[in-house]
Every structure is written in C-alpha cells, then in structure tokens.
Chain A
Amino acid sequence: MPAGTSAVPRRTGSIVNGHPYIEILVSPDGKKSAKQTALVDTGFSGFISMPAESAKLMGLQAHATARYTLANGRVSDAVPLANGYACLDGDVLVPGLFSISESASVVVGMDFLARCGKVLIIASHSVVITDSAEYEEWFKPKN
C-alpha cells in the first residue's frame, strides 16, 4: 500500500476546549434518527448520556433507573434510563442504554465504542475513530 494511504475506514472528530467531540446518530426506535454532536468521556462506562430536553424531543421513554459511581468515588442519585439506538454518523444503528441527565452535552462512553466496534485515537488537535478489527490488523505480526 502506498505510504500515506490506508484501507481503514476512518471518521474524524474535533477537539474543543481540550475535549474530544464526534458526530453520532441517535434514535428511539432504530428507525428515524437525528444527528448529534457528542463529547467522548472515556471514564464513562455507559452507552450514551442524553440531556433531558433532548431525550424528550427524541421521544425516549424512561423505564428504569440506575446509579453511577462518580469521579470522586461517591454514588449518584438515581438516573432515569431508556432503551435506544445510536451509531457513528454513517454507520448502522446499534441498541444501547441512554441515561437521561441534566448535563448540557450528549456524552458517549466506553459501551458506545464497544458496541459500535470502534477504536478512538485522540491526538493533540484531532480525534480519529476507526474499526476495532481493522485497528487490530495493524498490529498483527507481518511475515
């Protein structure tokens, strides 16, 4: 393969105020979807956290609660949960759990990357997302 080219499908995100953001699609039913800009928080073990107003507009129906371990080690109040679907913009929607929070941004966590089969590479001025399988192929021993 010529230098500087790659067969690996890649999407790029952006760094805003030092934080990585990517474009995703979200859906309540796996059919109609809407584009959102989401902050990537690698310390968040869940799928997606959605601001309450956005969740309402999207039509998410909370049917469960859960608690979170916070960064300071304490346990959160109960947070509403809803089943939904999401993916990177351009990919196929996958199911996952949406937390409905009072935060201002849509946040994606490690469960989102795992369910979508993606690897996130964060550089100083950009974010690259690629398929896990393709990424692992890079590191296979070559004969």
Chain B
Amino acid sequence: MLETNPSLPPSSQYMAERGEAIYDQKYRAELEQKAHGKFVAINVATGDAALADTGEEALRAALEKDPTGFFHLVRVGHRAAFDAGWYLSCAP
C-alpha cells in the first residue's frame, strides 16, 4: 500500500520533502498563477526546476540539465503528482 510503505528507502521521503520545500519557497506562488496542471521536476541538490505538460517530459528536461541529478516531481496546483486508483491505494 502506498500510504505506509516501510520498505521504501528513507532517502525517498527525504528527497520528496526537500523538493517540496524548494517548490514552496521558490516556485509555488509564480507557477500556481500561470502553470496550473503542468508538471515541474525540482532538482533537490541545485533547486533548479524543469516545467512541462507531462511528468515524463519534465523529468527528461531536468535530466538533460543534470544527468546525475535527483528530482521530485510536483503537479502545479495539486496535492500530488498522480492519482493512485483503487489497486495501488488498497493492495497489500
């Protein structure tokens, strides 16, 4: 189940929190005015952002800038990047 996943490496949660903090500080106010529904990939080391219509495109653009970078994906104006559906929400 996605909600509580003890087998995830601790770094995943840290990376997400770091990416969200950067998004809140540097990008949220501007992007939520002009890019609602788009995806932004935040480089958790440099704070750079890549914006695109899809998550896949945002991450590819971010990787072009920094091929060894690690990123957190945010959907502008949404609490999460994706909807999980019933199976991923409920499967053990």
Q: State the A residues within 8 Å of B (CB).
A: 19, 39, 41-47, 49, 52, 63-72, 74-81, 83, 95-97, 99, 101-105, 107, 109, 111
A64 touches B89 (CB 8 A): no
User: Inside 8 A of A72's CB, which chain B residues have their CB?
Assistant: 89
Point out the residue from A63, A65, A101 that lies within 8 Å of B88, measured CB to CB.
A101
CB distance from B85 to the nearest CB of A (A): 3
A109 to B56, CA, bound (A): 14
B71 touches A64 (CB 8 A): yes
Q: Across the A-B interface, how many residue pairs have beta carbons closer than 8 Å?
A: 151
Interface size of B as a range: 35 or more
B85 touches A71 (CB 8 A): yes
User: Secondary structure at chain B's binding surface: helix, strand, loop or mixed?
Assistant: mixed
A68 touches B82 (CB 8 A): yes
A78 touches B12 (CB 8 A): yes
B90 touches A71 (CB 8 A): yes
Given contacts A44-B83, A63-B70, A111-B56, 12 further A-B contacts (CB under 8 A): A64-B70, A66-B74, A66-B82, A68-B80, A68-B83, A68-B88, A70-B2, A75-B80, A80-B9, A81-B55, A102-B2, A103-B91
